[in-house]
């Protein structure tokens, strides 16, 4: 009886199997690092970096005078915590360039006759233009405008207590929600999906390119061929550019026909940016494939890159709502720069000058990933 039970189940055999699995887990350092790294990453990012009510948003001031009423307006807006006036535009054209390029979230224009109209009680106005490509960024800052500005004007006039009710309607705050006046969330999400879909597929598929050769035992055939590492790399990544081109066409057509996303910029500029972006992604995937020993490890490393990129790029949560250190980390991901390009070109009609810096960063990623891939591939030949 006991011998029969021992044949079915043995604690000694179970213990040996457990020891073997723990030893194998310890040897698989990538998987072990993912088990610890991913939960810690999620805790830090969701706990500290994510903020749906961004504060201290960059704003540009267009004002030709520095009278007490103008200073009161600026001080009141800064006191709300939503506005940070780090740009003083000399003209409306300069302010337009700043908001189109994404340097500022708001442009506050105070006319030259503002003080004179306040003193005469002649319905003074201020204009606040908000970059509404991401409705979540502008909503909180706009909701407090009328009350805060009116109270600041009353304090500057010294009439807050005596004529609060009578003077409440004196100030007219004109709000323009630029690029997305209806606050439609699809206008922000769908252009971003172009970058997210390309990143998810291009990096993962290319990351498995070299590891697949290793697992199937065909790597020796590649090494026996009279091909340089650069030729092998290009042979692996260039076919995926065609796949990326098909995905771009599908997403852009769906964005226009299914969601009615406006496209006011240059298609040539957008496609050129997509080409640089996709090239950086496939080179990144190839670099990952040189570090992974199996396709499973390649998928794990891809996920380890994909998660922070998705959270810190500004796709799911407002980029400007994150603390400074998180924004710095977000700059190291190609998706962050590509999202700025797609939203600027599609929704704002931005020209090359407005997105040149972001395209330049994508080109830097291409060179960096290509160099890393070639160096890693040479190391695998030894």
252 and 361 co-located in one domain: yes
Vertex 326 angle, CA 98 and 247, to 5°: 70
246 and 370 co-located in one domain: yes
Instruction: Write out pLDDT tens, residues 321-353.
Output: 788 888 899 999 999 999 999 999 999 999 999
Is the pLDDT reported for residue 110 higher than 80? Answer: yes
* CA 20 to chain CA mean position, Å: 43
**Percent of the chain whose pLDDT exceeds 70:** 79
Q: Is residue 48 part of a domain?
A: no
Q: Is residue 324 part of a domain?
A: yes
Q: Is residue 47 part of a domain?
A: no
Is the pLDDT reported for residue 148 higher than 70? Answer: no
- pLDDT category at 290 given cuts 50, 70, 90 is confident
In order of 104, 112, 317, the CA distances from 96 in angstroms are: 10, 18, 25
**Percent of the chain whose pLDDT exceeds 90:** 19
Q: Is residue 21 part of a domain?
A: no
Task: Read off the pLDDT of each residue in 257-263 and give the average, rounded to a whole number.
Answer: 89
For residues 135 and 185, the answer to whether their CB atoms sit within 8 Å is yes
* Number of neighbouring beta carbons within 10 Å of residue 293: 13
Q: Which tokens is 365 given?
A: 């990623």
DSSP for 213-267 reads HHHHT-HHHHHHSS--HHHHHHHHHHHHHHHHHHHHHHHHHHHHHTS-----S-H
167 and 205 co-located in one domain: no
Mean pLDDT of the chain: 81
Extract the runs of DSSP E, i.e. beta strands, from 92-149. 106-110, 125-131
- pLDDT category at 219 given cuts 50, 70, 90 is low
What does the pLDDT read at residue 167? 43
What does the pLDDT read at residue 48? 66
Among the three residues 178, 204, 225, which one is the final residue of a domain in this structure?
A: 178
Q: Is residue 8 part of a domain?
A: no
Q: Is residue 94 part of a domain?
A: yes
SS3 178: strand
What does the pLDDT read at residue 16? 78
Q: Is residue 4 part of a domain?
A: no
210 and 359 co-located in one domain: yes
CATH number of domain containing 108: 3.40.1710.10
What domain range is 377 assigned to? 186-381
Strands 83-88 and 106-110: unpaired
Among the three residues 160, 178, 196, which one is the final residue of a domain in this structure?
A: 178
What does the pLDDT read at residue 169? 44
Q: Is residue 25 part of a domain?
A: no
162 and 218 co-located in one domain: no
> DSSP letter at 292?
-
Q: In terms of Cα–Cα distance, which of 299, 294, 284 is closest to 217?
A: 294
Count of structural domains, the chain: 2
Instruction: Write out pLDDT tens, residues 11-63.
Output: 777 777 778 777 766 666 666 666 666 677 667 666 766 777 788 888 999 98
132 and 207 co-located in one domain: no
What does the pLDDT read at residue 161? 46
pTM of whole model > 0.85? no
Among the three residues 129, 147, 178, which one is the final residue of a domain in this structure?
A: 178
311 and 328 co-located in one domain: yes
Instruction: Write out pLDDT tens, residues 151-198.
Output: 666 666 665 444 444 444 467 788 888 888 888 888 889 999 999 999
Give residue for tokens 């500004």. 314
């Amino acid at each position: 009886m006991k011998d029969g039970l021992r044949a079915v189940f043995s604690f000694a055999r179970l213990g040996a199997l457990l020891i073997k699995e723990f030893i194998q887990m310890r040897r698989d350092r990538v998987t072990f690092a993912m088990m610890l790294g991913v939960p810690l990453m999620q805790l830090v990012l969701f706990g500290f970096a994510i903020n749906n009510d961004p504060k201290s948003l960059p704003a540009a001031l267009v004002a030709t005078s520095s009278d007490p009423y103008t200073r009161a307006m600026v001080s009141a807006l800064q006191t709300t915590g939503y506005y940070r006036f780090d740009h003083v535009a000399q003209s409306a054209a300069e302010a337009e360039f700043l908001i189109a390029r994404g340097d500022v979230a708001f442009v506050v224009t105070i006319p030259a006759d503002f003080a004179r109209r306040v003193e005469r009680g002649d319905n003074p106005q201020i204009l606040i233009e908000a970059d509404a490509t991401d409705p979540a960024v502008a909503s909180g800052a706009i909701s407090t405008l009328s009350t805060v500005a009116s109270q600041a004007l009353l304090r500057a006039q010294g009439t807050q207590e005596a004529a609060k009710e009578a003077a409440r309607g004196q100030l007219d705050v004109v709000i323009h929600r630029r690029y997305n006046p209806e606050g439609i969330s699809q206008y922000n999400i769908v252009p971003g999906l172009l970058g997210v879909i390309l990143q998810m597929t291009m990096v993962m598929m290319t990351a498995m390119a070299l590891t697949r050769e290793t697992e199937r035992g065909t790597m020796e055939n590649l090494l026996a061929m009279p091909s340089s590492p650069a030729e092998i790399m290009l042979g692996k990544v260039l076919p995926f550019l065609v796949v990326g081109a098909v995905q771009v066409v599908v997403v852009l057509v769906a964005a226009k026909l299914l969601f009615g996303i406006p496209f006011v910029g240059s298609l040539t500029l957008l496609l050129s940016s997509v080409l640089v972006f996709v090239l950086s992604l496939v080179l990144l995937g190839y670099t990952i494939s040189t570090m992974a020993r199996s396709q499973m490890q390649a998928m794990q490393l891809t996920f380890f890159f994909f998660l922070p990129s998705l959270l810190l790029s500004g796709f799911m949560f407002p980029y400007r709502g994150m603390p400074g250190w998180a924004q710095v980390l977000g700059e190291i991901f190609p998706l962050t720069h590509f999202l700025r390009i797609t939203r600027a070109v599609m929704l704002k009609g931005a020209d090359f000058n407005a997105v040149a810096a972001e395209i330049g960063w994508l080109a830097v990623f291409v060179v960096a990933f290509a160099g890393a891939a070639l160096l890693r591939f040479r190391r695998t030949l030894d």
